[in-house]
């Protein structure tokens, strides 16, 4: 941009002509005896160079006017000048939040036992979207130390490889990936479980909307100030990872940690920060050994350090299983969950026995798989967990000596994820083609923008559907109808609640002692949980 502002060669004819006309007018007004016609020496030596300089100066001034205001930048479609936007935002101590790519774990299948290695930088390609995924670190798998598992029912062996991408896409469990240069014995690679989706870069409009929050003073005192502390550009990047915050402090229904006294009244000194760091449900997948119990069940222990920000257990399957969409033959196993008691070193934050640790870095669980006989005292399971790993970084940040509140115990939690499913039938004119995949993504975006509001309505979803060339949305509910909205959410006590209807409202399951309020719940979904049927009217 700088070169365009300083080089006459980049001027357009219109820019030059306008500048020349103004310059000649000004000069004629002051010095009417100068002959400025074409062909004169004054025209060549004075008017032309000065006009070029004036045109450049005009352009610089226009650029300054254009970039001094966020509103002005936003009003110019197609302008993508991140530096200019950040220059304005820097006046308010913030900057644009960067997006991040999807991440997850691949199951790499090989045809024989032995030693295998996926080097750091190995690139896998999503066969559906062609997005590239890279292994950030080398992974070695050997039969000798059980990092290579199997054989499974097909006689194949497998190991897992964590991968990350620049693409902000959703990936379901069982999606096939390709390897550009397969190694000896390589058979296939699939997503071991649903990936944690990425997020697009923040738009200037979104930055403008949150700007007031950056104007608060920096200190863990008020809600605005707490949010400012997280969004401080000098903090290590949390402005980009946190999309929404809900702060529960003294007197808030979902703040129960400061009520442990004989009268049960809030005394202050405790703050719970619910930080949404995800769009689609974030998943951590572990491969764990079960432990046979005397009652015949199998116990799987998940320590807090293994799944920071653990919110709920998504599924437990045989370690070798990769569920395909619609595949019911190898469904998840039945299990129950109990909270892991906080033993060992006392955490830096105070809990009593009845305080839910759900969503914090101190939350671990014991999973009991019941009703199966695996013929093994320590069978291997694949455990998929809803957990936002960024909570660990955020908690470490607020615990820093230079950041932490001297008067209160600040605890960071994963929001209670209300996993939303939606079935919808849309009608369109004959011959009109509806991009169903894009419509599903649009509906997904509506759900994933909804944090700490507690209500999700059919109206906002229908409004999003009408941005596509449809005639109507079948809003009848029930078996014969075309609209079914459901939400599942687990409260702090581990109780699962189901919401459904044209409007799902957390107020219907309000339970402050289980930390279940509108201010603690974030709606979330992924495209594979949304079914759209387009029919010609």
Which residues of the chain form contacts with other proteins (CB under 8 A)?
8, 11, 13, 16-17, 20, 24-25, 28, 32-42, 44-45, 48, 51-52
Largest CA distance in the chain: 110
CB of 54 to other proteins, least distance (A): 12
To other proteins, the closest distance from the beta carbon of 25 in angstroms equals: 8
Contacts of 17 (CB under 8 A, 6+ apart): none
Of residues 8 and 216, the one with the C-beta less far from other proteins: 8
Which residue number, 11 or 391, has a Cβ lying nearer to other proteins? 11
Determine the 3-state secondary structure of 83 from DSSP.
helix
**From the CB of 57, what's the least distance to other proteins, in Å?**
16
Nearer to other proteins by C-beta: 48 or 486?
48
Cis peptide before 170 (omega within 30 of 0): no
Alpha helices by DSSP H, listed for 449-502, are: 458-465
* Residue 279, both tokens: 């769009």
In the bound state with other proteins, the residue whose beta carbon lies nearer, of 32 and 371, is 32
By C-beta, is 11 or 504 nearer to other proteins? 11
Q: How far is the CB of 19 from other proteins (least distance, A)?
A: 9
Of 39 and 401, the one with the shorter C-beta distance to other proteins is 39
How many alpha carbons lie under 13 Å from residue 339 in its C-beta half-sphere?
A: 21
Distance in Å, CB of 2 to other proteins, minimum: 21
108 phi, psi to nearest 5 deg: -105, 120
Using N-to-C axis directions, what is the helix angle for 390-398 and 223-231, rounded to 10°? 110
Q: How far is the CB of 13 from other proteins (least distance, A)?
A: 6
CB of 7 to other proteins, least distance (A): 12
Q: How far is the CB of 59 from other proteins (least distance, A)?
A: 14
In angstroms, give the least distance from the CB of 28 to other proteins: 7
**Taking Cα atoms as reference points, which of 318, 319, 356, 350 lies closest to residue 337?**
356
Six token digits for residue 393: 């970084």
Residue whose token pair is 């994933």: 448
309: exposed, middle or buried (C-beta count within 10 Å: 0-12, 13-18, 19+)? buried
Considering beta carbons, is residue 9 or 262 the nearer one to other proteins?
9
Nearer to other proteins, 34 or 292 (CB): 34
Name the residue with tokens 């998940």: 302
Least distance (Å) from other proteins to the CB of residue 44? 8
Helix axes 82-90, 204-214, angle to 10 degrees: 10
Residue 141 to residue 164: CA distance in whole angstroms: 19
Q: Which CB, 32 or 326, lies closer to other proteins?
A: 32
Q: Residue 17: count other Cβ atoms within 10 Å of its Cβ.
A: 13
Q: Which CB atom, from 24 or from 510, has the smaller least distance to other proteins? A: 24
Q: Which is nearer to other proteins, 18 or 132 (CB)?
A: 18
379 closest CA partner among 287, 286, 284, 283: 287
Dihedral Cα 186, 288, 167, 358, nearest 10 deg:
180
At what angle are helices 223-231 and 204-214 packed, to 10 degrees? 130
Q: Which is nearer to other proteins, 25 or 331 (CB)?
A: 25
Least separation, in Å, of the C-beta of 61 and other proteins? 20
- At what angle are helices 13-30 and 48-67 packed, to 10 degrees? 110
Residue 118 Cα to chain centre, angstroms: 27
Beta bridge partners of 158: 109, 149
* 318 alpha carbon, distance to own chain's centre: 28
Yes or no: say if 454 and 498 are a contact pair by the CB < 8 Å rule: no
What DSSP state is assigned to residue 507?
G
Backbone angles phi, psi at 18, to 5 degrees: -65, -45
Q: Of 111, 113, 133, which Cα lies nearest the Cα of 122?
A: 133
Query: In the bound complex, what is the minimum distance in angstroms from residue 62's beta carbon to other proteins?
Result: 18
């Amino acid at each position: 941009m700088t070169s365009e502002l300083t080089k006459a060669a980049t001027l357009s004819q219109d820019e030059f002509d306008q500048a020349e006309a103004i310059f000649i007018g000004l000069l004629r007004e002051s010095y009417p005896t100068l002959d400025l016609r074409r062909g004169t020496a004054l025209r060549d030596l004075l008017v032309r160079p000065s006009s070029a300089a004036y045109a450049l100066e005009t352009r610089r001034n226009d650029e300054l006017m254009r970039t001094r205001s966020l509103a002005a930048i936003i009003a110019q479609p197609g302008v993508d000048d991140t530096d200019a936007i950040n220059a304005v935002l820097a006046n308010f101590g913030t900057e644009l939040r960067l997006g991040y790519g999807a991440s997850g774990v691949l199951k790499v299948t090989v045809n024989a036992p032995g030693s295998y290695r996926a080097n750091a930088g190995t690139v896998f390609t999503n066969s559906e979207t062609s997005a590239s995924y890279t292994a950030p670190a080398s992974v070695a798998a050997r039969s000798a130390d059980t990092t290579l598992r199997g054989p499974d029912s097909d006689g194949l062996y497998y190991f897992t490889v964590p991968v990350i991408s620049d693409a902000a896409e959703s990936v379901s469990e069982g999606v096939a990936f390709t390897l550009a240069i397969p190694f000896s014995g390589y058979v296939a690679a699939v997503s071991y479980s649903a990936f944690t989706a990425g997020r697009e870069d923040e738009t200037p409009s979104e930055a403008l909307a949150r700007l007031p929050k950056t104007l608060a003073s920096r200190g863990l005192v008020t809600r605005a100030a707490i949010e400012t502390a997280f969004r401080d550009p000098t903090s290590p990047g949390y402005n980009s990872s946190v999309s929404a915050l809900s702060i529960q402090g003294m007197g808030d229904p979902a703040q129960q940690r400061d009520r442990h006294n004989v009268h049960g009244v809030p005394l202050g000194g405790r703050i719970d920060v619910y930080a949404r760091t995800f769009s689609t449900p974030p998943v951590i997948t572990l491969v764990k050994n079960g432990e046979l119990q005397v009652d015949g069940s199998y116990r799987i222990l998940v320590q807090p350090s293994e799944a920071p920000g653990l919110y709920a257990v998504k599924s437990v399957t045989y370690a070798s299983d990769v569920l395909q969409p619609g595949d019911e033959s190898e469904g998840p196993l039945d299990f129950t969950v109990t909270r892991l008691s906080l033993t060992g070193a006392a955490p830096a934050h105070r809990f009593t026995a009845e305080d839910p640790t759900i969503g914090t870095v101190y939350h671990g669980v014991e999973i009991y798989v019941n009703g199966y006989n695996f013929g093994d005292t320590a069978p291997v399971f694949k455990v998929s967990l809803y957990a936002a790993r960024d909570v660990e970084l955020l908690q470490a940040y607020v615990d820093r000596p230079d950041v932490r509140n001297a008067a209160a115990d600040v605890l960071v939690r994963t929001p209670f994820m209300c996993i939303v499913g939606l079935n919808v039938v849309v009608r369109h004119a004959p011959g009109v083609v509806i991009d169903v995949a894009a419509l599903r993504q649009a509906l997904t975006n509506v759900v994933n923008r909804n944090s700490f509001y507690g209500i999700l309505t059919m109206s906002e979803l229908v409004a999003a559907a009408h941005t596509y060339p449809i005639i109507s949305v079948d809003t009848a509910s029930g078996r014969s109808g075309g609209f079914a909205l459901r939400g599942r959410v687990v409260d702090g006590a581990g109780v699962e609640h189901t919401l459904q209807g044209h409007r799902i409202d957390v107020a219907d399951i309000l339970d402050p002692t289980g930390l279940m309020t509108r201010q603690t719940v974030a709606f979330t979904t992924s495209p594979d949980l949304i079914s759209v049927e387009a029919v010609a009217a």
